[in-house]
A and B are shown apart, each in its own frame.
Chain A
Amino acid sequence: MVFFYPKGRREKAMKKILSGNEAIARGAYEAGVSFAAAYPGTPSTEILETISREYQAIHSEWTPNEKVALEVAVGASYAGARALAIMKHVGVNVAADPLMTLPYTLVRGGIVLISADDPELFSSQNEQDNRHYARFAKIAMLEPSSSQEAKDFTKEAFRVSEEYGTPVMVRTTTRISHSMGIVELGEAEERKDPSLERHPAEWVMLPANARRRHPVIEDRVVALKKLANTIPMNRVEMSERGLGIISSGVAYQYAKEAFPKASFLKLGMPYPFPDEMVREFASQVKELWVVEELDPFMEEMVKALGISCHGKDRIPMCGELNPDIIRAAISGEPVLKPVPAALPGRPPSMCPGCPHRSMLYALRRNKCFIAGDIGCYTLGFLPPLDAIDTCLCMGAGINHAHGMSKVFGPGREKLAAVIGDSTFYHSGITGLLNLAYNRGAAVIVILDNRTTAMTGSQNHPGTGVTIGGDKTTSLDLEGLVKALGIEWVRTINPYGVKNARAVVKEALEYDGPAVIISKAPCVLLKTRAVPGTPLAVDHDKCTGCKVCISIGCPALEFKDEKAHINDVCVGCSVCAELCPAGAIGGDV
């Protein structure tokens, strides 16, 4: 939230309502962070946006993907500065390669990774529990349960990182990142001056060096375990001893709401696990429960200590929790999910005038199998377009089409893949390189809408503008595609839907890899290529054939056997071009 405080007011306001994401950004500022990098991804996106907007002392940048984000942050840390890499849970998969070896290397400036998980899959393709990454990489992990803690823990993460020489992961979830609460603001620490040092034995991870560094990690985990037993963010709240609850993150708040009189072991640092604290707490309560979202991460560590407890035997493994689910689970009542009234839904859909719509229509009308990817165009899955056949992870669609083309052989099936511009730069380039190199026969459509639309229009290497609004180099997409070895490339304006169909047909007839760049700015951008004024239907000419309805535009309604255009129309004219009766126009 942007606050328009009158001059002189902002400084006085030491208490502010912040989202978890805004609080993390504030924490980075107060910790004296010099460098922050991210690839946009819900629910993490607002962290870097806030840093760029409010804390310009920190250099911030959108990177093409999360692996780059973590690696550039590591570079800043090696130079002695405090550095932050931010990503959503599945982004950590992309950054997993540097993450797994990073703990072997020497930490100079504190290095912190924010992982924003998405229980309930509000805007993700899976609900993986990234706490496992902390144990996998053997690094410290902090888990805030409020906006205040999101700020405080981010600061503390940098202290732990430097004092123990470890990367630290701060793990949030959608309910922490996007919920708001009151935060006490603090002063910013001084930023560290960078300086060049050489530490080849600790930074060059050749087998001989890495072999020597591995025991360092194991010793560090032992030291961090001692820290976890004493750090104030791990605390006991002793009350009635009949029920003891071990919890962390937002689940702690839900459990407090449901059982305010129970005793709690509240873990702000659940990994490495504070064994001694847990043993002591368990010995003082009658019935022990572990309350956590998603996997039994803490529960398994409790049981590994030989302590019996309840947890996932009653508490659901899937979806997010809430106070009611926890109350029912612990009270032994059936866990009810109230059934909401049966009402017409409002599912997300592509915007009126979205340039993806006509391109997907052109592919579907050519009867292609359409391997999809991650972006707004994934919504083309929905009827009536019904034009996305796969969606696995960022960059996968091109590779699906290639793999299929190799097992089918030439000419047997019509194979296509769609991928957005930002997604292509994220992880589509290597797939297209492979398609060219191994001569797959598929039509790849790059939906170039000049932005990262799904997460709210962030800039990327193709837009020529940085996160801070500065002009920079703009990638030549057609030149890149050719340089990867693709000989058949066409750049088209997708609003010409008949032409789009014809170009797809031509590409399908080509014996080899073909790329169509479907280039038109997102309709939510100021640079959009639509007039912005609604079209209308001439009901004397409309035959009620429903061809226009088949593109699934929210501006088109069908009633009384005729098509109607409502006021959300932006005049893209795709329906007008398709109308066989010529009934749709601007001045009807």
Chain B
Amino acid sequence: MNVLMTGVGGQGIILASDVLSEVMMRHGCDVKKSEIHGMAQRGGSVMSHVRFSDHVFSPLIPYGSCDILLSFEELETARYMPYLNGSTRIIINRFRLSPPTVIAGKETYPDITPLLREKTNNVHLVDGSALAMELGNPRGVNVVLLGTLSTLLEPAETLWIETISDMLPAKIRAANIEGFKRGAQLNVQ
């Protein structure tokens, strides 16, 4: 199973992919994940490859082999087209952050849905950011989206919640578990 997470720096993608990896390990899978840090600062593009099965060789997802693309930002969804195939399930968080050239008025924020539909019809837009905001925890959009993702994967909700409890500091634990549960109610079937 190959899950690609995309978005921009500051959205908590690295933590989300850490949690997913830990859950899948506890579920009994071999897990590898890969991302680039360093010059990718706040506002830069972020992508994390998470792979799990009986045995994983490459930490990178081969082109055309992504099973689920979980995108935290609309435009970023379309940056990784080579990894998609006809049956890739795409979950897009409804959130736009304008890149510098759009801010400067040199380009417009593109409509990405026609691009994605060329590859697959399995595209689901969810209001993860709005839900996180509604719960009073805007930084918790990552666990909200993990909740949504969890409905497509084998591990039971209890394993997710136990893992999140183990990995997050006590003071933000309850709010994030709430976010996770509410995210799981967003429909992407």
Residues of chain A at the chain B interface (Cβ within 8 Å):
1, 3-6, 9, 15, 17, 42-43, 122-123, 146, 174-175, 178-182, 250, 253-254, 256-258, 260, 322-324, 327, 338, 340-341, 343-349, 351, 454-455, 549, 554, 557-559, 566, 568
Q: How far is the CA of A558 from the CA of B33 in the complex (A)?
A: 39
Most chain B C-beta atoms within 10 Å of own C-beta, residue among A4, A257, A343: A343
Does A15 contact B25, Cβ atoms closer than 8 Å? Answer: yes
Q: How far is the CA of A473 from the CA of B105 in the complex (A)?
A: 49
As a 0/1 sequence over residues 1 to 28 of chain B, the CB contacts with chain A under 8 angstroms (1 = contact) are 0000000100000000010011001000
Residues of A within 8 A of B168 (CB): 4
Given contacts A254-B58, A256-B58, A322-B62, is CB(A122)–CB(B31) below 8 Å?
no
Does A122 contact B38, Cβ atoms closer than 8 Å? Answer: yes
Residues of A within 8 A of B186 (CB): none
Does A181 contact B59, Cβ atoms closer than 8 Å? Answer: yes
Residues of chain B in range 28-48 having any CB-CB distance to chain A below 8 Å: 30-45
Residues of chain B at the chain A interface (Cβ within 8 Å):
8, 18, 21-22, 25, 30-45, 56-60, 62-63, 75, 78-82, 99-105, 107, 109-110, 115, 166-170
Does B100 contact A347, Cβ atoms closer than 8 Å? Answer: yes
Does B36 contact A343, Cβ atoms closer than 8 Å? Answer: no
Does A122 contact B36, Cβ atoms closer than 8 Å? Answer: yes
Given contacts A42-B39, A323-B62, is CB(A559)–CB(B105) below 8 Å?
yes
Residues of A within 8 A of B80 (CB): 340
Query: Please, which residue of chain B has its CB at the minimum distance from the CB of A250?
Result: B59
Residues of A within 8 A of B170 (CB): 4
Given contacts A3-B166, A4-B169, A344-B75, is CB(A338)–CB(B63) below 8 Å?
yes
Residues of A within 8 A of B32 (CB): 146, 179-181
Residues of A within 8 A of B56 (CB): 181
Does B166 contact A17, Cβ atoms closer than 8 Å? Answer: no
Q: How far is the CA of A340 from the CA of B81 in the complex (A)?
A: 6
Residues of B within 8 A of A43 (CB): 38
Does A554 contact B167, Cβ atoms closer than 8 Å? Answer: no
Q: Which of A123, A340, A343 contacts B110 (CB 8 A)?
A: A343
- How many Å from the CB of A356 to the closest CB on chain B? 14
Q: How far is the CA of A1 from the CA of B22 in the complex (A)?
A: 11
Does B57 contact A256, Cβ atoms closer than 8 Å? Answer: yes
Does A323 contact B39, Cβ atoms closer than 8 Å? Answer: no
Given contacts A17-B18, A341-B115, is CB(A349)–CB(B39) below 8 Å?
no
Does B169 contact A346, Cβ atoms closer than 8 Å? Answer: no
Q: Which of A4, A174, A253, A351 contacts B166 (CB 8 A)?
A: A4
Does B167 contact A4, Cβ atoms closer than 8 Å? Answer: yes
Does B59 contact A179, Cβ atoms closer than 8 Å? Answer: yes
Does A344 contact B39, Cβ atoms closer than 8 Å? Answer: no
Residues of B within 8 A of A17 (CB): 18, 21-22, 25, 31, 33
Known contacts A180-B18, A181-B56, A346-B100; can you find 4 more A-B pairs with CB under 8 A? A181-B59, A182-B25, A345-B45, A351-B42
Does B36 contact A178, Cβ atoms closer than 8 Å? Answer: yes
Q: Which of A123, A178, A180, A346 contacts B99 (CB 8 A)?
A: A346
Given contacts A5-B166, A17-B21, A346-B99, is CB(A180)–CB(B104) below 8 Å?
no
Q: How far is the CA of A557 from the CA of B45 in the complex (A)?
A: 20
Q: How far is the CA of A4 from the CA of B80 in the complex (A)?
A: 33
Residues of B within 8 A of A122 (CB): 36, 38-39
Does A348 contact B82, Cβ atoms closer than 8 Å? Answer: no
Q: How far is the CA of A568 from the CA of B43 in the complex (A)?
A: 10
- How many Å from the CB of A544 to the closest CB on chain B? 12
Residues of A within 8 A of B41 (CB): 348-349, 351
Most chain A C-beta atoms within 10 Å of own C-beta, residue among B43, B45, B60: B60
Residues of B within 8 A of A123 (CB): 38-39
Residues of B within 8 A of A3 (CB): 166-167
22 example contacts (A-B, Cβ-Cβ < 8 A) are as follows A4-B167, A4-B169, A17-B21, A122-B39, A123-B38, A123-B39, A146-B32, A175-B60, A181-B59, A182-B31, A322-B58, A340-B82, A341-B78, A341-B79, A343-B79, A347-B100, A348-B39, A349-B41, A349-B100, A454-B39, A554-B103, A559-B105
